[in-house]
Amino acid sequence: MKVACLRLALLAAVLALASATAGRAQEQGGRQAFEAKVVYCKTCHGLSGEGYRGYYPMPRLAGQQPKYLENQLRAFIERRRVNPVMFNVAHVLTPATLAALTAHFHNLNPPPLGGAPRDNVGLGRTIYEQGLPEANIAACSACHGPEAKGHEEIPRLAGQLYPYTVKSLTYWGRERGQGGVRDDTSAIMVVTTHNLDAAQISALAAYLAFLK
Amino acid sequence: MPIDARRTGGSRFGAAETLPPLAEGRRRAFHARSLLVVGAVGLTGAVTLGLAGFSSSAKAVPSFARQTGQPCATCHTAFPELTPMGRRFKLNGYTITGGTEPWEAPPIAAMVLPTFTKTKVQADTPPTNPDGYPIAHVNDNFIMQQASLFYGGKIFDNLGALAQGTYDKASQHTYLDNTDIRYTNTFNFGPLNALVGLNANNGPTVQDVWNTTPAWGFPYVAATLAPAFSPPLTQVENGWGGRTVGTGAYVFLNDMLYLEGAAYHNMSKGMLGTLGQTCPYNSDYIQNVNAWAAAAYPAVPGLPFPAWQPWSQNPQNYSLACSSSSLAYASPYWRVALEKNWGEHSLMIGAFGFYPEVLPGRVMGYGVDHYRDIGWDAQYQWINDVHAVTLKVTRISEMQNLEGTFAQGIATQFINAMGILNMYGVAPIPGNGPSNPINYLMSFKASGTYVWDRTISGSIGYFHVTGSHDYWQYGNALYNTFQTGAIYSNGNPSSAVGLPNSAGLIFDFAYMPFSKGGPELWPWANAKIGLSYTHYLSLYGGTANFDGNGIYYNGSSWRTHTATDNNTLFLYTWVAF
Amino acid sequence: MKTLRLAFLLWPALLAAASTLSFAEDRPPGPLPKPQLDAKIAYCKTCHGLSGQGFRGAYPMPRLAGQQPEYLEEQLRAFIERRRLHPLMQNVARALNPATLSAIAAHFKELNPKPLGGAPKDLIAAGKKIYEEGVPEKQIAPCASCHGPDARGDGAMPRLAGQLHDYTTQTLASWSKERGQDPLKPDSSAIMQPIAQGLTHEQAAAVAAYLGSLE
Amino acid sequence: MNAHTARSRIMKRTSAIVAVAVIAALAATPGQTQELPVRNCTWCHGPSAQGSGAAPRIAGQREQYLVSQLHAFHDRSRDNPASKQYMWGATARLSPEMARDFALYFSSLPAEAAEDGDTGLAALGKVIYEQGVPDANVVSCIVCHGPRGEGFEAIPRLGGMSHGYLKSRLEQWGQGYHASARPMPLVARTLSADEIEALASYLSFLK
C-alpha cells in the first residue's frame, strides 16, 4: 500500500516535472535510448509505422512529413491538439529526439494497413482529386499532392488508417486548433471538414486507406 | 480391521486348537496385509477389503486423455491425485471431450502394475492366502501386482463412467474394481449455477473427487504382499468397495459448494461372485467339512445344505461359508465440501459421514453392528506451471456399537465353554468378540505431495490411529499363550496392551515420464515409477514387542515383533496405456 | 450507401454535362444568399489562404487578395471554357454562377494581407529592374507598364504584388501550355505569351522574387 | 431391528424418489448445449465462463479475440506454459467453424469483474493504464484496450479479468512467450514487476 502510494506520487511528480526537465531519453542519451523510444512509438503506431487499429485508431506515421509530425507533437504539448495520451507521450521528447523520430518515420514505407470499406473508393478518389465544388469541398490533392504524400507541414494522407481519417475529419474542430491559438495550420481544414458529410468522409478515408 | 480379521480368522470351534496354527497365522497375516493395502493406505477405491485381500488402483486413465485431448497433468498432479480440473472432469461425469471421438479410439485403457516389496525384517510366514499367490516369499517379493482394463469416458451425451476390471495376482482372480457411473447436467437458477449428477458406484468415497477421502487417499499405491502387521481401519476406510452398490445424487453449486447424499446397499453373494468379488471362506469350516463332518454327519434330510459334501463341489457351501461381513440395510453416506479456487490456489474444507449397518460374518440372529463414521477433511493445492503442492488432512472418528459382534462373541464363548458341537461347523464368529459392546476408533492422516514439473513427485504422509481399549478385539498375548499352550506369532492384530494405537510415516518418490504427453507413438500413455517407504512409529500401542508374542526364528533364535520390523520398502511401476 | 453509389455512378455524367452546358442554366441567377456565399468564400480560402494570401500546398496556390475582380472573373471563365487548362480550377469554377463569381471577386479585392513571402531575397533587386525596365535586348517591355508601378494591376490586368514567387515562376514557365488554349476563342493571355517565352528561367525567377516581396 | 428395517425402507424409498425427481428434472431441461459442447470449455473456465484458477474469464470476451486465440492455440503460436498444457490439446481438433461458434457463444455471455487485485495498487494501475509512463517508454493501454478495458475487435477485453491471469500474461510476454502477439511483447518488456502488479490490480476492478 505504502509502496504503491509512493510510486504513484513519484509518477505524478515525474509527470509534472517532465515538461520542465529534460526527458529521460536525453539524459540517458545514446542510440539505445533512441531505439527504445522508436520501439515505444511503434508499439502503438505499428511495428513499421503502418498504424494500428486499437480501441482508438493509431495513425500511420510511416512516410509522414517530418514537419507535420513535429508540428503535431508540438501541438499536443501546447494543447492546440487535444489528446491526453499523446500529450504525455510528446512532452517527454527532447527536440533532438523528436527530430530523429520524425526522420525515422519519414523513411519508412510499409504497405498500407488497408481494411476500409471498398464500396465508395471511387467517390473518395473524386473528392480527393477534384473536390466537390458544389459542396464547397476543395480538392485535397491541391495541397496534399496527387499521390497524397503531403508536403512540409501538409501531412501525407496516403495509406492512412480509414478509421483515423474518418475520426480526424469528423471531429476536426473539436480536437485541433484548440486553446485559441491563431496560427495553427489546422484552421485551413476547418471549412472542408465542416462541409464533408459522413458518407463523403467515409469515401475519402477509404480511398486514402488503400493508397500506397 | 481387527473385527473383520477375527471374524474371518481361525475358528475356536471344536478341534480348532488342534489345527496347525500356522494356517491360521497365514490367514491373519494375509488379512492384515490386505487391509493395509486397501483401506488405510489404500489406493483408491480399492476395493475389497479384508475380504478378498486384493487391492487395486485406478490412475490417470489414458482413455480420458484421449477423450479430452489433454495430457495427464491437466487432471493429475501425481496421479491419481486430482487437480481442480480433474475434480471437475469427474464431477462432469467423465463426459468432457475435445480429443478423439469414441468411434475413433474406444474409451478403453489398460494398466499393469509390477511391484517389488521388501520389509525391514522378513515376515514370519510368506504373505499369501491358502489358494492365493503361490510363490510369495517371507520377503523380497516381486509381483506383477495387478493388470486392469478400464472403460473410462463418455458413454453418450451426459452419461459417463469409469469402470475398472482388475486381475489381482496375489489372490489370482479377476473382479470388478472401482466403478463409478454418472449422469450429469447443469442448470442455472438466477445467480445459482448447479451441476447436478446422479451417481452409481461400488464403494463409499469411490465417487469422491478430493484426495482426502479414503478411496483415493494417500498413499495411492501399496503392496498387496505387505507386512504382517497393519493398523486397524475405520469402516469408511476399510473399503466396502467392490462389495456394495451405492446410488446417490450430488450437486455442485457455483463451482464451490458440493453436496452429496448416497445410500449403500449390500450385494448379494451371487452378484459378488458374478463381479468376481470372491467371498473369503472360513478355512475352519472347510477343514471341518472336508476332514470329518461328512463322516460324522451322514446325510440328514431336511438340513439346509448337505454339509458332508466336499465344500468345493457345492456352490451353496461356498456361499454359506462366506465369512465376510455384509451391510444389513441401506447405509447412508453424505458429503459436504466447500472448495474455493483463486488463481493458482485451491482450498477445500469438508466433511463426510458413513453409517454402515453391518451384519458380522453374514451370521443372522445376533443383531447388527451400528457404526457412525464422521470424517473431517481439508485439502490445499497450489499448482502453477512448474510446481504443484498438495496438502491433505483427514480425521475420521468412528463410534462402534458392536451389538451383533458382541452377541456373537458371547455365543461363541458359550459354545466353546460348553463344548457344544455346532452342527453347521461354524461358530457365529470366531474368537470371543469384543470386550466392549461400544468402542471408538479414530484415524488421522496428513500428507503433503510436491510435484516438480509434473514429472517428479515427493510425498510425506503421517498416519495415526487411536481407539478404545479392547483386549479381545486387538489381541491379547497372554490369552493367546494361555489358550494355545505355546507361543506363536499368529500375525493377528495383536496388542500386548489391547489398544489399536498405531502411527507411522510414509515417504514416496515417483517419476512420471509421460505426464506432459506420452511418447509420439502413443501419446496417451502414462507411467509412474515410484519408490515408497513406510516407517512404523508404533503398532498396537507399542514399539518393541508390541504384540507380546515372539517366534523361534529359523527354528532356533527367539525373536519378538518390533514396530519397525514392518518398515516396508516398496518399488512400483504403473504403466497405463 | 446506395445513394452514394448512385452519385458515384452518375458523377462522370454530371461532369460531362457540366462541361458542355452553361453553368447559368442549372443554377439560379443572382448572387448566393449571404451564408452560402460566405461558405463559398471559405471554400476558396481553404486553398488560397485564409486571408487570400495564397498557400503552398502540393502546388503553389496563388494569392487572390487584392486581385482585380475583372481579371479574376475572366480567369474563372477561362477555366470553365477550357481556355486556361487546370482540371481542379475548371471543376471549382463551373460551380459558380456569374453573380457569385462577381461577389467572390469583390470579396477578394478587399483583402490585403501581408505577402506570404518565402522568395529568395538576393534576386529581388534584379527582379525590380526587370519589372520596371523590361529586358530591352529581348523586346520585353517593363512589366510595370501594364501591371502598374506598384504591381496592383488594373481591370483585366492582374495584380502581381505579393504573389507567391513559385506560382509566378511556374505560371510564366507554363504560360503557353496553360493559357489561351482555345484557338477559336483567343483571349488576353496572348499578350503575355511572347513575354513569358522571352524571359529566361533566371529572369522569371528574379521578377517572381521581386513581386513576391511587394506588398 | 424393526426400527432399522423401517429406516432402511424409508431410505430406499427416499433415494428412489430423489432419483426419479432428478431424472425428470434432467430430462425436462432443454438441451441448450446439445450441438456446442460448451462444457468442454466451462470445465476449466468455470460454469459461467467467469474463469477459474489459471483459466481466464471468457464470458463477454471479444468474439474476434476468442477466435484469434483459439487459432493461436491450434497453430501453437500461443505457447505460454498453461496454454501449452491445456489449450494445445483442447484445440488440436477444433474446426474453424466450431472455434467461431464457441467464440460467438462465450462472447455473448455476461462478464463479471474478478475484483481480486490489490486495491491499494489500483490507482497506480489506472495511471499506467490511461497514460502509460512515457519517460520509461511504457505506452498507455487505453488507446488499444479502451477506456473501460472493453477491447476492440481482436483486441481483448481486459476490464474485470482476474489479477493472476493478467499478471502472468504480462510476465510471460516479457519472458518471450507468445511472441507473435505483437505488440504485446514490446509492451510487457517495458513494464516493471510493480507496474504489472498495479495494472493487473486495476484491471481486475475495471468494469
Instruction: Give how many domains chain D has, as a whole number.
Output: 2
Distance CA B7, CA B27 (A): 11
- Kindly identify which residue of chain D lies nearest to residue B68, measuring between CA atoms: D90
Query: Do D107 and D127 belong together in one domain?
Result: no
Q: Is the pLDDT of residue B171 over 90?
A: no
Of D111, D144, D167, the position where a domain reaches its end is: D111
Q: Which domains does chain C have, with CATH numbers?
A: 121-213 (1.10.760.10)
Grid coordinates given for B503: 502411527
Sign (positive or negative) of CA dihedral B219, B220, B223, B226: positive
C in contact with D (at least 3 C-beta pairs within 8 A): no
pLDDT score, position C191: 87
What cell numbers appear for C139 in the block?
A: 523586346
Q: Where is pLDDT greater, at B134 or D40?
A: D40
Domain shared by D155 and D134, yes or no = yes
For chains D and A, having 3+ Cβ pairs within 8 Å is answered: yes
Q: Which residues of D touch B71 (CB under 8 A)?
A: 85, 89
Instruction: Assess whether D132 and D75 both reside in one domain.
Output: no
Residues of C with CB under 8 A from a CB of A: 1, 3-5, 7-8, 11, 39-40, 42-43, 45-47, 50, 55-59, 61, 87-88, 91-96
Examine the domain organization and report whether D130 and D192 are in the same domain.
yes
Residue A45 lies in a domain: yes
Give the pLDDT band of residue B8 (cuts 50, 70, 90). Answer: very low
Which residue, B280, B366, B293, is CA-closest to B321?
B280
Residue D169 lies in a domain: yes
Q: Has residue D101 got a pLDDT over 70?
A: yes
Q: Which positions in chain A touch C8 (Cβ < 8 Å)?
A: 120, 122-123, 126, 203
What is the tens place of the pLDDT at every residue in D5-20? 555 555 555 555 555 5
* D100 and D41 share one domain: yes
Is residue D12 assigned to a domain?
no
Asked, for residue D98, whether it belongs to a domain, the answer is yes
Rounded to two decimals, what is the model's pTM? 0.75
Lowest average pLDDT, out of A88-92, B553-557, B572-576, goes to B553-557
C-beta of residue B222 within 8 angstroms of C-beta of residue B461 = no
D183 in a domain, yes or no? Answer: yes
**D107/D123 same-domain check:** no
CB contact under 8 A, A191 and C42: yes
CB pairs under 8 A between A and D: 92
Q: Are residues D64 and D133 in the same domain?
A: no
Q: Does B84 touch chain D (CB under 8 A)?
A: yes
- Collapsing DSSP to helix, strand or coil, B313 comes out as helix
Are D134 and A88 within 8 A, CB to CB? yes
For residue A88, give the chain D residue with the closest CA.
D134
Our CA-based measurement puts residue B545 at a distance from the nearest CA of chain D, in whole angstroms, of: 42
β-bridge pairing B244-253 and B192-201: antiparallel
| 3-state SS string for B474-498 | HCCHHHHHHHHCCCCCCCCCCCCCC
Residues of A contacting chain D (CB within 8 angstroms): 1, 3-5, 7-8, 11-12, 14-15, 18, 23-25, 36-37, 39-40, 42-44, 47, 52-56, 58, 84-85, 88-89, 91-92
Assign residue A93 the CATH number of its domain: 1.10.760.10
Q: How far is A114 from chain C (nearest CA, A)?
A: 20
Query: For the segment B409-467, what is each residue's pLDDT rounded down to a tens digit?
Result: 777 777 666 665 554 444 556 566 777 889 999 999 999 999 998 889 999 999 999 99
Residue ranges making up the domain that contains A136:
36-209
Is D102 among the domain residues? yes
Neighbours of chain B (3+ CB pairs under 8 A): D
Residues forming beta bridges with residue B376, ordered by sequence position: B351, B395
pLDDT per position as a tens digit, A11-33: 544 444 444 344 444 444 578 88
CB contact under 8 A, D116 and B261: no
- The predicted model gives D137-162 an average pLDDT of 91
- Domain containing D155 — which CATH number? 1.10.760.10
Which residue range forms the structural domain that includes residue D153? Answer: 119-205
Q: How many domains does chain A have?
A: 1
Considering only the beta carbons, identify the residue of D135, D143, D153 that sits closest to A14.
Answer: D135
Which residue in D121, D145, D152 is closest to A4 by CB distance? D121
Residues D103 and D146 occupy one common structural domain: no
C155-185 pLDDT, tens digit each: 889 999 999 999 999 999 999 888 888 888 8
How sure is the predictor about B122, in pLDDT bands with cuts at 50, 70 and 90?
confident
**C-alpha cell read off for B521:** 507413438
Which residue, among B572, B577, B429, B520, has the nearest Cα to B143 in the 3D structure?
A: B572
Give chain A positions within 8 Å (CB) of D118.
Answer: 1, 4
Nearest CA to B575 out of B109, B226, B198 is that of B109
CB contact under 8 A, D144 and A54: yes
**Which of B95, B385, B452, B524 is best to mutate for the D interface (most D CBs within 10 A)?**
B385
Domain end position, chosen among D57, D83, D111: D111
Domain membership of residue A60 (yes or no) is yes
* Cβ-based burial of B558 (10 A; exposed 0-12, middle 13-18, buried ≥19): exposed
Evaluate if residue B237 carries a pLDDT over 70. Answer: yes
- Is B348 an 8 Å CB contact of chain D? no
| Measured distance CA(B136)–CA(B313) in Å, rounded | 28
Q: What is the CA radius of gyration of chain A?
A: 18
Half-sphere exposure of B122 (CA within 13 A, CB side): 12
* Cell (9 digits) for D120: 491499494
Sign of CA dihedral A102, A106, A109, A111: positive
Residue B92's closest chain D neighbor by CA?
D43
D64 and D129 within one domain: no
D137 and D196 belong to one structural domain: yes
Position A12 in a domain: no
What is the rounded distance in angstroms from the CA atom of residue B60 to the CA atom of residue B75? 8
Question: Is residue D28 domain-resident?
Answer: no
C-beta separation of B204 from B354 below 8 A: yes
Model pLDDT, residue B51: 26
B266 touches chain D (CB under 8 A): no
Tell me whether residue A22 is in a domain: no
A44/D120 CB distance under 8 A? no
Contact between A85 and D120 using a beta-carbon 8 Å cutoff: no
**D126 and D74 share one domain:** no
Tell whether D197 is covered by a domain.
yes
Nearest in space to D153 (alpha carbons), one of D57, D63, D56: D63
**Which of D131, D147, D194 lies closest to A88 in CB terms?**
D131
> Are D69 and D146 part of one and the same domain?
no
One-letter amino acid of D131: Q
